[in-house]
Chains A and B, each alone.
Chain A
């Protein structure tokens, strides 16, 4: 009893010392909620209610038709589906390319290993501006510009270095005994990788894939240049072009509904998997 009381007492004292911290972080968090909450409310309101600042009353009821309008007439459905296809395919292929490379770099000693690791690491610092012009020229020559396949190819290539980098650390931390056991059982090194090591690396693969998903879903610059037709646009560029046209039509309810549709997938993913996403940020950044 007495013991418990003392512990509680010291706790309160500690909490009081932390109060300024709670206050500062609290204000920031409230602001974030207000920002996102307001957009969600606005997406269910009419343009007029938004302008009058009467969002919380819903005098004319909820307006889910904003979403229908955004989805259908403003082509968000097309952008959304594009992004979904781009993201799912790229995320899968990135792993197929990056995981074997990361495995070899983390497990085998050979000349140039360190050089290759550094090479992949430098890609994280190369500005996009350095690579787009020659690529644009190259793909124009090949007549594949403004196509879905090209964008997917670029997303894969651009995200390989970070993924190699991340999985490299992950394989490094797996015990070598797995390979030894497999070798004794007569399993070839390559088979060992696909059958044993890759499944073992699943937690790392999932973490880095979620992170890649968010990156690719929100990508803007590359798709602005390489897939900017009404048919091929992903959500970020689609949303931008839509906002541009909204400025003339003045459909604010529809615009905010579109904003919500665009951020909803990553938002929901984040609500459930924020710990994993955060792990991939710190895991990727600290090594550099």
Chain B
């Protein structure tokens, strides 16, 4: 019986482990190694790699465009993150407070996540932000703010914030679902007891909901970090021709550096630096993961 199970375990796990090794494990290790070498083309043979120590990282931190990319991704992570977390938590609380049509609202708010980001971006750029017939300028005009209505939302000054708002709009639904499932796992009697004791809505929220959501909060922050580190499509959509300092992110910079478009601002291929960008992003994810775990672990509440 036992040997039978053994062969079954091996046979059933082998394909998944093979794919994992080939597509996650081997590439990750190789990228880490590559980040310490001077590598020009991504297809260059290993024999052509030249050891470069931390040189790739040094080069990156002396490149103004990459520094813009880092600045942009930090703002997306922090400003966008705070915004998305607050709005999605607010929505989560509203939808779990006993409103009618909860599942309808929930479905509509999550909807942007099932639509291709390219399609969503096209809608925002060509409709919402259009200066002639766009939604934003129409609303502002109707309200009498003709000056604000003339703002070029996708112009160089506003494009970063326009991009951030459009991106965050879609992300709210995803994080709202995670908040909601956390809130729904809190036993109802906690609230009933608190209500009997005379706690109001805000007290119940700050004394029961919030502390019990620590674990969910951690999940949300980690997931937000993972998805923002991969920020790419939106930056390409909002600056389709060239990398621009206002929309570039580490991912789009790396794409130009390694795979390069024909009308690129970067003419030199540098795959070693591309790998270094990957390592930097991974380190960020790991740090955020460990940090959130540290905070929550201290007084985790088991439900």
Contacts and interface: CB of A to CB of B under 8 A. Distances in A.
B254 interface: yes
Contacts of B282: 126-127, 130
Interface residues of A, number: 95
Nearest to A29: B108
Contacts of B138: 53
B114 interface: yes
A170 interface: no
Contacts of B95: 25
Given A25-B95, A104-B8, A125-B226, A160 B16 contact: yes
A282 B94 contact: no
A42 B27 contact: no
B28 A278 contact: no
Given A18-B99, A133-B271, A128 B16 contact: no
Interface residues of B, number: 93
B222 A288 contact: yes
**Chain A contact residues: over half helix, strand or loop, or mixed?**
helix
A137 B97 CA distance: 53
A126 B27 CA distance: 11
Q: Which residue, of A34, A42, A97, A237, has the highest number of chain B Cβ atoms within 10 A? A: A97
Q: Which residue, of A50, A125, A158, A225, has the highest number of chain B Cβ atoms within 10 A? A: A125
B233 A220 contact: yes
B43 A137 contact: yes
A177 B22 CA distance: 36
A122 B105 CA distance: 32
Contacts of B111: 32, 36, 267, 270
Contacts of A133: 27, 30-31, 34, 42, 258, 271, 274-275, 278
Contacts of A132: 27
B223 A285 contact: yes
A152 interface: no
**Chain B contact residues: over half helix, strand or loop, or mixed?**
helix
A235 B115 CA distance: 12
A127 B231 CA distance: 10
Contact of B122 (A105, A130, A134, A255): A255
Given A25-B94, A286-B219, A236 B116 contact: yes
A235 to B, nearest CB: 7
Interface string B21-32: 011101110110
B5 A189 contact: yes
Given A21-B99, A103-B12, A278-B177, A127 B116 contact: no
A158 B127 contact: no
Contact of A116 (B5, B15, B17, B94): B17
A79 B99 CA distance: 42
A17 B226 CA distance: 37
B285 interface: yes
B216 to A, nearest CB: 8
Contact of A217 (B106, B116, B122): B116
A124 interface: yes
Given A104-B13, A108-B5, A137 B117 contact: no
Contacts of A243: 118, 122, 240
Nearest to B281: A127
B89 interface: no
B251 to A, nearest CB: 6
B294 interface: no
A120 B109 contact: no
B27 A134 contact: yes
B114 A214 contact: yes
Given A21-B94, A130-B28, A266 B114 contact: yes
Given A21-B99, A110-B9, A131 B24 contact: yes
B237 to A, nearest CB: 8
Contact of A282 (B44, B117, B181): B181
B232 interface: yes
Given A236-B117, A239-B119, 14 more contacts: A21-B94, A28-B91, A29-B108, A32-B111, A38-B123, A50-B133, A100-B15, A124-B226, A129-B250, A133-B31, A137-B43, A193-B8, A270-B107, A285-B219
Interface of A: 14, 17-18, 21-22, 24-25, 28-29, 32-36, 38-39, 42, 50-53, 97-98, 100-101, 103-105, 108, 110, 116, 119-120, 123-137, 140-141, 154, 156-158, 160-161, 164, 188-190, 193, 214, 217-218, 220-221, 224-225, 235-237, 239-240, 243-244, 247, 252, 255-256, 259, 262-263, 266-267, 269-270, 274-275, 277-278, 281-282, 285-286, 288
Return the 4 tightest CB-CB contacts between A and B, nearest first.
A100-B12, A101-B16, A21-B94, A157-B23
19 contacts: A29-B109, A42-B127, A104-B9, A104-B13, A116-B13, A123-B24, A125-B289, A127-B229, A127-B230, A133-B275, A133-B278, A188-B4, A218-B116, A221-B233, A243-B122, A256-B126, A259-B123, A267-B115, A278-B177
